[in-house]
Amino acid sequence: MTQVPDKIWTWQMVTPFSKDRETGVVTPGRLEKTQIDVPELKPGDVLVKVAGCGICHTDLGYFYYGVPTVNKPPLTLGHEISGTIVAAAGDVESWMGKEVIIPAVMPCRKCHLCKTGRGNRCLDQKMPGNSMGIYGGFSSHIPVPAIDLCEVKNRGDIPLEKLAVVADAATTPFQAAKRADIQVGDNTIVIGVGGVGQYMVQILKALGANSVVAIDINQDRLDTMLKNGADFSVNSMGKTPKEISGELKAYRKEKGLASTGWKIFEVSGTKPGQELGLALLSFTGKMVVVGFGPHKVEYSISRLMAFDAELIGTWGCLPEYYPSVLGMITSKKINFEEFVQTRPMGTIKESFDEAHKQSPDQRIVLVPDF
């Protein structure tokens, strides 16, 4: 029987990165290991013992760029979480002992957005490490509502801690595919095949895309994608959008593919990536913005009218889609473990710094070692 703790160990973001506008003085973000109280669970809530929590680009945005969180520091970051339920309140005792994935965004299920199928962007949603008080995934335990949890079944030899990335990196692309209304036979482009983009490629192929083109500046990543769902790749390093468009035109001609109706997924979150996606968006096409960046991009929106094209934003993933993505992983339709690495949570400072300097080929999942 797992013991319920008296305290929760956690790595708190005491202060985020900040820069004084007048003096230009930079104050780095700061993490501290500390203990916080285990709250009294409300009816319908459970306490999850964290198995693993992934480091997401969003966490780095909060920490290094001062992107504001709903709840102000000190708070615990981390929203890619898997674990085991060790306590439950109210009528959710049946969850006791179950292994679960905690959705990165949990809708209120009462508002107009929730009732019309757009609960992934519910304005009253709960997000660990942002809008759930001081609680987040870089800790030993976390209290959450049970209603949106995804039970882990039939995981075989896949470690529970590695499944933490299902909470965001693997499900966000699924939501993006849904927003793009991916159909069997569609032609698609994925710009940026790092921590999230590598799942975007695989999910598009699993959903029946006819052609998936991967674009990145890292040739090793592109070579890996060609073995995991991509039909063609373009190394964009040092190339202009016109040159890249020329390579895509040659590929379409060789394969006899249509020049219209392509669906583009911008996952890099970089200014060059977003500018490239907009340059490639053409007649009756769709561009779905998945990656986040703090920069601004100029674009003539009249081109959308001329092309009868669509520019779409997407956020998180509806909890009801999680079992589908988890099933793709456990059934080996998605190559999963090759793209995940685990480290002790005590390495959080070094791991944050490493992921900030360069997005790792393998998503970093931190395992509690308190």
Secondary structure string (H, E, C) spanning the chain: CCCCCCEEEEEEEEECCEECCCCCCEECCEEEEEEEECCCCCCCEEEEEEEEEECCHHHHHHHHCCCCCCCCCCEECCCEEEEEEEEECCCCHHHCCCEEEECCCECCCCCHHHHCCCHHHCCCCECCCCCCCCCCCCECEEEEECCCCEECCCCCCCCHHHHHHHHCCCCHHHHHHHHCCCCCCCEEEEECCCCCHHHHHHHHHHCCCCEEEEEECCHHHHHHHHCCCCCEEEECCCCCHHHHHHHHHHHHHHHCCCCCCCEEEECCCCHHHHHHHHHHCCCCCEEEECCCCCCCCCCCCHHHHHHCCEEEECCCCCHHHHHHHHHHHHCCCCCCHHHEEEEEHHHHHHHHHHHHHCCCCCEEEEECCC
Domain ranges of the chain: 7-170+317-367, 172-313
Whole-prediction pTM value?
A: 0.91
- pLDDT digit string (tens) for the chain, length 370 residues: 567 888 999 999 999 988 888 888 888 889 999 999 999 999 999 999 999 999 998 999 999 988 899 999 999 999 999 999 999 998 999 999 999 999 999 999 999 999 999 999 999 999 999 999 999 999 999 999 999 999 999 999 999 999 999 999 999 999 999 999 999 999 999 999 998 999 999 999 999 999 999 999 999 999 999 999 999 999 999 999 999 999 999 999 999 999 999 999 999 999 999 999 999 999 999 999 999 888 899 999 999 999 999 999 999 999 999 999 999 999 999 998 889 999 999 999 999 999 999 888 899 999 999 9
- What would the pLDDT profile of 246-294 be if each residue is shown by its tens digit? 999 999 999 999 999 999 999 999 999 999 999 999 999 999 999 988 8
Q: Which CATH architecture has domain 7-170+317-367?
A: Alpha-Beta Complex (3.90)
Q: What is the CATH number of domain 172-313?
A: 3.40.50.720
